[in-house]
């Protein structure tokens, strides 16, 4: 009888069950959501990627291997760029993310324990930097406005050639009379210091052009064209002076060869650009993906192939011409290609500046000598 009453009381009990830490479920969702879920997802994706790459490459993905070094530089450069972007100083413009990317590469290079684990072969580093250069130059060529460039056809040439040669000659004079360098080495130093980095100028000008600042006057196009051609001119001048310093050929022969190489690079870029205007045809499926693939492939081939052929300055000019020529033919339909190039630059930019920073070895600098 007592057992029966006890079972009836259990069935008719309406009191809510006792829950330990009743507030916890309301604060901690299961499964997690928001920022915590995003962090778990990204960490899991990185772990899966590492596991797949390690199962294929083994030692290359472990500390001391090339792939480990590249991934570490990429992640640290991305983190450094985001941290620098958070710095807000009163009455000062925001710091560019590339500053954090450079500092991340410098730290990876100069911290003793980290340097031993983060190793990247010089050929891998040079190839990745060339790929990043091909990406940004092809993006610059697509972003050029043909009508504005035609209107400012003499201005951008003067803006590119004038400051470049003036700075090169000034540095050559100062280094010759102040430091005692030979004239040819003074010009080599001048072309090194006079180069304008397209990786710094082009993204800023593309953002200005997208926001509409100075587009009617052609200012973004003017600066992109002048900055890119300035860099190509400095590379050509550097290689020409270097060949004069180490070969027995006459000076005029080396200068004439440099001019002929420029003409050849422009002709090759024109041929590749006309090809991209026709192929793939506009009636094909996924035409923007195919155009992006061919544009990036030809650009990387031009930049890296010119280094293999011994003409390192010509690949950039060829890339600039072919992308500009292709963009003139695609017109409004080039917008999806530019979006794909933006995604490629999002990966190439931290790699480029992180690898540049990783080339700075402070232990190899004698500061007593540098200060004299």
Q: What is the pLDDT of residues 236-247, one digit of tens each?
A: 889 888 888 887
Q: Which residue would you say has higher pLDDT here, 20 or 200?
A: 200
Q: What pLDDT score was predicted for residue 73?
A: 92
Confidence check: pLDDT of 139 > 70:
yes
| Structure-block tokens of residue 357 | 């920073």
Split at pLDDT 50, 70, 90, the class of 6 is very low
Q: What pLDDT score was predicted for residue 21?
A: 47
Split at pLDDT 50, 70, 90, the class of 26 is low
Average pLDDT for 192-211: 87
Split at pLDDT 50, 70, 90, the class of 217 is confident
> Exposed/middle/buried for 222, CB within 10 Å: 0-12, 13-18, 19+?
buried
> Exposed/middle/buried for 187, CB within 10 Å: 0-12, 13-18, 19+?
buried
Q: Where are the alpha helices (DSSP H) in 87-154?
A: 97-110, 112-117, 122-143, 146-151
Q: How far apart are CA 150 and CA 99, in angstroms?
A: 35
Confidence check: pLDDT of 126 > 70:
yes
> Exposed/middle/buried for 2, CB within 10 Å: 0-12, 13-18, 19+?
exposed
In contact, 144 and 327? CB cutoff 8 Å: yes
User: By percentage, how much of the chain surpasses pLDDT 90?
Assistant: 34
Split at pLDDT 50, 70, 90, the class of 92 is confident
DSSP state of 360: -
Confidence check: pLDDT of 5 > 50:
no
Average pLDDT for 48-55: 84
């Amino acid at each position: 009888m007592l057992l029966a009453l006890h079972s009836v009381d259990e069935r008719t009990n309406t009191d809510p069950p006792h829950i330990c830490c009743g507030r916890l479920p309301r604060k901690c969702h299961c499964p997690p959501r928001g920022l915590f879920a995003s962090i778990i997802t990204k960490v899991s994706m990185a772990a899966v990627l590492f596991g797949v790459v390690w199962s294929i490459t083994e030692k290359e993905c472990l500390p001391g291997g090339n792939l480990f070094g590249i991934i570490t530089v990429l992640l640290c450069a991305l983190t450094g760029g985001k941290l620098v972007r958070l710095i807000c100083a009163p009455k000062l413009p925001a710091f560019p993310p590339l500053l954090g990317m450079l500092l991340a590469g410098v730290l990876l290079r100069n911290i003793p324990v980290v340097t031993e684990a983060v190793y990247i072969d010089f050929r891998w580093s040079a190839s990745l930097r060339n790929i990043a250069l091909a990406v940004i130059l092809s993006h610059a060529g697509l972003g050029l406005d043909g009508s504005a460039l035609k209107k400012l056809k003499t201005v951008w040439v003067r803006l590119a050639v004038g400051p470049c040669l003036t700075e090169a000659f000034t540095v050559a004079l100062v280094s010759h009379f102040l430091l005692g360098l030979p004239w040819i080495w003074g010009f080599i130093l001048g072309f090194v210091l006079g180069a304008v980095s397209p990786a710094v100028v082009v993204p800023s000008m593309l953002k200005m052009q997208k926001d509409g600042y100075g587009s009617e006057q052609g200012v973004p196009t003017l600066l992109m064209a002048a900055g890119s051609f300035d860099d190509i001119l400095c590379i050509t001048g550097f290689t020409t002076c270097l060949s004069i310093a180490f070969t027995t050929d006459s000076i005029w022969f080396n200068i004439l060869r440099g001019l002929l190489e420029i003409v050849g690079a422009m002709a090759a870029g024109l041929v590749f650009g006309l090809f991209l205007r026709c192929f793939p045809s506009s009636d094909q499926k996924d035409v923007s993906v195919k155009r992006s693939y061919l544009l990036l492939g030809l650009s990387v081939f031009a930049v890296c192939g010119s280094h293999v052929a011994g003409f390192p300055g010509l690949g950039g000019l060829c890339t600039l011409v072919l992308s500009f020529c292709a963009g003139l033919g695609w017109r409004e339909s080039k917008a999806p290609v530019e979006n794909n190039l933006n995604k490629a630059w999002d990966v190439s930019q931290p790699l480029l500046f992180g690898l540049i920073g990783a080339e700075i070895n402070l232990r190899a600098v004698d500061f007593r000598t540098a200060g004299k």
